[in-house]
Structure 1
Amino acid sequence: MASSGLADAAQYATLTAAIAGLQFAWAVETGFGSPYLLSLGLRKSLVSLVWLAGPLSGLVTQPLVGVLSDRCTSRFGRRRPYIVGSTACTLVCLAVLGWTRELAGGRERAAQWLAVVAFYFLDFSVNALQGSLRALVVDVLPAARQAAGTAWASRMLGIGNVCGYLMGFLDLARLLPFLGSTHMQVLTTVASATLAATVAVTCWFTAEVPLARPPASAAGPLHMFSELLSSLRSLPRVIKGVLRVQLLAWVGWFPFLFYGTTYVAHMHVAHHADDPDADQQGARVGSLAMFVHAVVSLAASLALPIVTYSTATGRARRRAGSPGSAPSAFGALQRALHRALARLSVSLQTMWAISLMLFSAAMLLTVAVSTVGGASALLAT
């Protein structure tokens, strides 16, 4: 039994390892994209237009990659070709971002355009990779293990965030000078190496069954989008309500991801206006704040499932906490623990509502906070 548990854990870890590497690269983009674009001389109003690539690419790329990979008959599997292809595109985009000024020959306007194009391609490749990796989890794991696979994916997201923001806080140009002469060059190099290594682990240790022939009813991408729109109109009322709430939640969540580092950095610069290195130090202070946020998020992803239940797990906990026939002291302690968890636990709906209210309160408080410590505490919340 113990060996079976270890084997399952090893499968979950290798299957979702690439998600950690992808999140590392995503943390580099979201955490340092805005300060980097501003350092190239791009106006703040134009930076916001650059970040439109994120939701646009997610809206188009993930459904499209899902449909195309569903029909893929490659001998390497349905998802692996798209994983490898999107990873290669992501690595190229990260390299371009790290060496934008050098590739542009020192021309400011050319560097700005090159960075904007690289960010757009990076968003599309990241979304393609994310969609392929999530589909791979669904393909490989049976229905009974989908929840555990999703939990492991969430943990890998947290690990990737923590590592990404920690790397941003460190003085990488001094610690790893052989990887580049600037902080952004070293950071993108480390992110590229991490992504390539984790994707290699997932592709090597995860077996896919090749598709013999595409589904007979497979339709083209344009037909897929029309079916998607018609499906949205016919969704159950409860699901439509969930989608509306999630849409509004992401309206607040995207600015937090893209401007969290800049928010803290500008506050640091305002308090150290006489320091010539205030901008560079501010970016690192903002990265530290996002690192604390990532640590809190990772801890929450580990702790909250213990005190949160769905309908099925709630019934299982009540059965586990009911009196049994085993008279052992360990059995009694186990039942007492289950009863305590059953009393303290809240439903998924309640936990979701609490998190949204906490996020809304923290976002409203950003207008009242004027210190780096207070801003960092809000980001951690």
Structure 2
Amino acid sequence: MQTLGIDHAMASFIWLCGPITGFVVQPCVGVWSDKCRSKYGRRRPFILAGCVLICAAVTLVGFSADLGYMLGDTTEHCSTYKGLRYRAAFIFIFGFWMLDLANNTVQGPARALLADLSGPDQCNSANAIFCSWMAVGNVLGFSAGASGNWHKWFPFLMTRACCEACGNLKAAFLIAVVFLLFCMAVTLYFAEEIPLEPKDAQQLSDSAPLLNGSRDDHDASSEQTNRGLSNGHADANHVSANSRAEDFTDAGSNSNKDDVEAFNDGPGAVLVKILTSMRHLPPGMYSVLLVMALTWLSWFPFFLFDTDWMGREVYHGDPKGNASERKAYDDGVREGAFGLLLNSVVLGIGSFLIDPLCRMIGARLVWAISNFIVFACMLATTILSWISYDLYSSKLQHIVGADKTVKTSALILFSLLGLPLSITYSVPFSVTAELTAGTGGGQGLATGVLNLAIVAPQVDLYT
């Protein structure tokens, strides 16, 4: 972003699209995938559409500088021009927001597909495998970010509008697109789904964990009907009248059935249903949502400022300072990316420990311990900042760079946070799948509702 002249303070505004799309897209996509009647299955069409959007968005972001140059941005070489490139910045922001929307389109159905394919007793194992593959993706991504040599390996990606940092981004994104398409093809081919029948879709709508108000009404009406039965025999006139009424109702409703269903499945209707039917949540879901929101309230600042913290607080660099300060900041950002790489390695290792730990001491206790670890590590980052500043201020000449002990401690903290992160990525979704397993479906909707607890603190942070 900064190579396009976008001010660092605008990062929070740009990142705000993530929680907004997450608040709207994931619950809606969850409901639509629960009721999708495609012959290819309920989840796979949404996974395909989301992956295609991700590829398009990543391409827009990577080539935003070149596209802006073609549309009339400055002709000055990127190595000397440091101002704002308006067209390139607009394309970058549009692609970035499109990427958030696409990610939310994929995540809900992917999690729901995992819950569909695994039984209630396998939720922890399935989510651990999901988490381990997320770790593999993170390792590859942060490896790309930690290396600054992509432009040397693919020199043809550098142009007059796109210098070294931009060339690195292009190369990493293009390789990511290849990996994504390969993984998508494997998922779509091997994850077989049974197409949803129309009657199953109606049953799912009535028995979904959040939208079971209609089921309650149906039970109440059935109870009233049963009151008309005496000694196991129904009154003939009562049965005949009910039959005629049902025939009349069916004949009248078939003509506008599709219109009503389309209205009920619209984005606005879905969000209204979700927000107004929170009282129908399974009892344990309230605790899950509360803990999830508080947990992510601490994670999002780390994700947003981790590499920036390394560049500014540990390396004492400044992206707008002199040459040595800019270099120190860039070195710190790359070191932060390396720390996130270590974090992802621990994340992958920790994902295989989740299921045994949950079986040994219970999922709730595992989740609680992970939150205490997060608290201790976040507190340690504040202490490290104080120590680093004191060491920097105590020098007669403020030598820009990182103290070796502080840098090593920061990398250890980044690594340790991988363990609670693996639990956060896995245990809440396993608990949600278990709580909604006996509701007749609705895994996509349940995952979307759980996402509301994630995006709520995100909106508060970015605003």
* Structure-2-length-normalised TM-score: 0.62
Question: Offset of 1:295 from its aligned partner?
Answer: 1.1
Is the contact made by 1:296 and 1:380 (CA closer than 8 Å) also made in structure 2?
yes
Query: How far does residue 69 in structure 1 lie from its aligned partner after superposition?
Result: 2.0
Contact 1:172 1:187 (8 Å CA) reproduced: no
Corresponding position: 1:364 with 2:375: no
Equivalence for 1:44 = 8
- Are 1:258 and 2:258 counterparts? no
Task: Verify: 1:220 aligned to 2:265, yes or no.
Answer: yes
Distance 1:38 1:250 in 2: 26
AA paired with 1:227?
Answer: K
Q: CA RMSD in A?
A: 2.4
2:354 & 2:110 partners in 1: Cα distance? 24
Where does residue 316 of structure 2 map in the other structure? 270
User: Who is 2:449 aligned against?
Assistant: none
Q: Distance in 2 between matches of 1:350 and 1:147?
A: 14
Question: Which entry has the higher C-alpha Rg, 1 or 2?
Answer: 2
**1:98 to 2:62 alignment:** yes
Q: Residue type matched to 1:127 in 2? A: N
Instruction: State the match for 2:414 in structure 1.
Output: 379
Report the secondary structure of 1:209's partner residue. Answer: coil
Cα offset, 1:184, TM superposition:
0.6
Select which of 140, 144, 159 maps to 1:167.
144
The answer to whether the aligner puts 1:201 opposite 2:189 as a matched pair is no
Q: In structure 1, what residue type is equivalent to 2:43?
A: R
Picking from 124, 138, 145, the partner of 2:101 is: 124
Mapped partners of 2:338, 2:284: distance in 1: 39
Deviation at 1:95, TM superposition (A): 0.7
Residue matched to 1:191? 176
Determine helix, strand or coil for the equivalent of 2:18.
Answer: helix
Question: Could you tell me which amino acid in structure 2 is paired with residue 258 of structure 1?
Answer: L
Is residue 109 from structure 1 mapped to residue 86 from structure 2 by the alignment? yes
Counting only pairs closer than 5 Å after superposition, residues 309-324 of structure 1 correspond to structure 2 as: 309=358, 313=359
> How far did 1:234 drift?
4.2
- Determine if contact 1:167/1:187 at 8 Å carries over to the other structure: yes
Shift of 1:147: 3.5
1:352 aligns with 2:329: no
135-144 vs 121-130, which deviates more? 135-144
Task: Name the counterpart of 2:219.
Answer: none
Q: Secondary structure at the residue paired with 2:198?
A: coil
The answer for the alignment partner of 1:281 in structure 2 is 331
For residues 41 and 282 of structure 2, the distance between their equivalents in structure 1, rounded to whole angstroms, comes to: 34
Of 53, 68, 89, which aligns to 2:17? 53
Give how far 1:177 is off. Answer: 0.9
- State which drifts further: 71-80 or 215-224: 215-224
CA shift for structure 1 position 346: 3.0
Letter in 1 for 2:368: A
Deviation at 1:274, TM superposition (A): 5.1
Q: Does the aligned pair in 2 maintain the 1:269–1:279 contact within 8 Å?
A: yes
Whether the 8 Å contact between 1:87 and 1:196 is mirrored in structure 2 is yes
Higher relative contact order (CA 8 A, sep 6+): 2
Alpha-carbon distance in structure 2 between the residues aligned to 1:242 and 1:97 = 35
Change (3 A) 1:236 1:133: closer
- Among 335, 341, 346, the alignment partner of 1:291 is 341
Deviation at 1:227, TM superposition (A): 2.3
Q: Is the contact between residue 38 and residue 47 of structure 1 (CA under 8 Å) also seen in structure 2?
A: no
Change (3 A) 1:147 1:70: same
How far apart are 1:162 and its partner, in Å?
A: 1.8
Q: CA deviation at 1:59?
A: 1.8
Decide whether aligned partners of structure 1 residues 211 and 125 sit closer, same or farther in structure 2, where only a CA change above 3 A counts: same
- CA contact 2:316–2:329 (8 Å) conserved in 1: no
Is the alpha carbon distance of 1:148 and 1:349 closer, same or farther for their aligned partners in structure 2, counting shifts above 3 Å?
A: closer
* Cα pair distance change 1:255/1:303, threshold 3 Å: same
Q: Which amino acid aligns with 1:380?
A: S
Distance 1:265 1:193 in 2: 31
In structure 2, distance between residues paired with 1:238 and 1:209: 30
Which residue of the partner structure matches residue 117 of structure 2? 140
Deviation (angstroms), 1:78: 1.9
Offset at residue 40 of structure 1 (A): 2.3
The answer for unaligned runs of 5 or more in structure 2 is 75-84, 159-166, 206-260, 389-405, 417-463
Tell whether 2:37 aligns with 1:73: yes
Distance 1:261 1:109 in 2: 26
Q: Which runs of 4+ in 1 moved over 6 A?
A: none
Q: 1:237 to 1:145 in 2, by over 3 A?
A: closer
Deviation for aligned residue 1:347: 3.0
Question: Displacement, 1:380?
Answer: 1.7
Q: State the one-letter code of the partner of 1:287.
A: A
Contact 1:155 1:298 in 2 (8 A): yes
Structure 2 CA distance for aligned equivalents of residues 179 and 290 of structure 1: 29
- TM score, norm. by length of structure 1: 0.74
Q: Which residue of 2 aligns with 1:244?
A: 290
Report the number of matched residues. 310
